[in-house]
């Protein structure tokens, strides 16, 4: 399934692959990868047990994506050990680690969907025309149920940090 015109990129309508995720549904499974002493995989089962925020960005090497990641990193400092926080993009894990080291990102993990686009297809964030992920935020409760969804309508805009963080705090309570 595809969702034509679901979002825009610099004003141009874009198509998202997969179904839209809605609050109240069980989060779909996915497999992403990260590098921590070797290549490792991350999936839904790894996130259960704690409330989770999934911050989805097209690429950490762009201004808005860097701002989004740094903002969530800063705002999550008081919750870092109580929640799972993951930024997901199609950037290679090595590039993601370089970004996190250069920007002192310590309160969230970065995971790449570069191999199979598993996350992008499962969560409906893969932009078919550009083959990158759109900007989105998902909050899951400790059991993996979706409690908050934001597909940012214009890819070059930032998400609603206040609403996403309030949803995360509620899910973590």
pLDDT of residue 53: 98
pLDDT of residue 101: 95
Q: What's the domain count of the chain?
A: 1
CB 8 within 8 A of CB 14: yes
Mean pLDDT by 10 residues, the chain (173 residues): 96 97 98 95 97 98 97 94 96 96 96 97 98 98 98 98 98 96
Structural domain harbouring 160: 2-172
pLDDT of residue 80: 78
65 catalytic residue (yes or no): yes
Could you tell me the CATH number of the domain that includes residue 167? 3.40.30.10
Distance CA 148, CA 171 (A): 9
Catalytic residue among 32, 65, 100, 134: 65
pLDDT of residue 136: 98
pLDDT of residue 1: 87
| Alpha-carbon dihedral angle through residues 108, 114, 119, 125, given to the nearest 10 degrees | 100
Q: Which residue's structure tokens are 């949803």?
A: 167
């Amino acid at each position: 399934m595809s969702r034509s015109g679901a979002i825009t990129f610099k004003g141009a309508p874009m198509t998202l692959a997969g179904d839209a995720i809605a609050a109240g549904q069980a989060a779909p499974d996915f497999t992403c990868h990260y590098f921590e002493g070797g290549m490792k995989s991350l999936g839904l089962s790894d996130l259960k047990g704690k409330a989770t925020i999934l911050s989805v960005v097209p690429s950490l090497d762009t201004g808005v994506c860097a701002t989004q990641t740094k903002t969530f990193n800063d705002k999550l400092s008081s919750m870092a050990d109580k929640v799972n926080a993951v930024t997901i993009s199609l950037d290679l894990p090595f590039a993601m680690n370089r970004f996190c080291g250069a920007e002192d990102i310590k309160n969230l993990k970065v995971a790449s969907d570069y191999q199979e686009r598993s996350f992008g297809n499962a969560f409906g964030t893969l932009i078919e025309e550009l083959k990158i992920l759109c900007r989105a935020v998902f909050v899951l409760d400790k059991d993996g149920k979706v409690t908050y969804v934001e597909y940012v309508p214009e890819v070059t805009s930032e998400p609603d940090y206040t609403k996403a963080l309030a949803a995360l705090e509620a899910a973590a309570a």
